[in-house]
Amino acid sequence: MGDPAPDSKTPAFAAVGLAIIGIVIAALTNGGITHGSILGGIVAAIGAIPACYGMWKGIQQEGQGTLALSVGAILISLGVGGILIVLGIVTAIRTHA
């Protein structure tokens, strides 16, 4: 089996990068990360798209390393995205109530 090709790991790194960009967007808007950001959450959740592609590539290569890395990237992207969106909604409800 061997090591997966480096280009097969790129989608997972892109997904984690989008999650980080989402966190940065949340940090720069609405009073910080603790207040969340719907836009930042959407950007972070979009990272699941390249991670799914990376997961598919891992399945095609029959490589567990790429597959595991991509599954982890999906969990990170969707987790960060979901948390930022929920915090953004809670903050919006608190400020308008």
Residues in the chain: 97
pTM to 2 decimals?
A: 0.85
d(CA 85, CA 72): 20
Question: Are 22 and 84 spatial neighbours (Cβ–Cβ below 8 Å)?
Answer: yes
Q: What is the pLDDT of residue 17?
A: 96
Q: What is the tens place of the pLDDT at every residue in 40-86? A: 999 999 999 999 999 888 888 877 888 899 999 999 999 999 999 99
Q: In this predicted model, what pLDDT tens digit does every residue of 11-42 receive, in sequence order?
A: 999 999 999 999 999 999 877 788 888 999 99
Q: Are 54 and 72 in contact (CB under 8 A)?
A: no
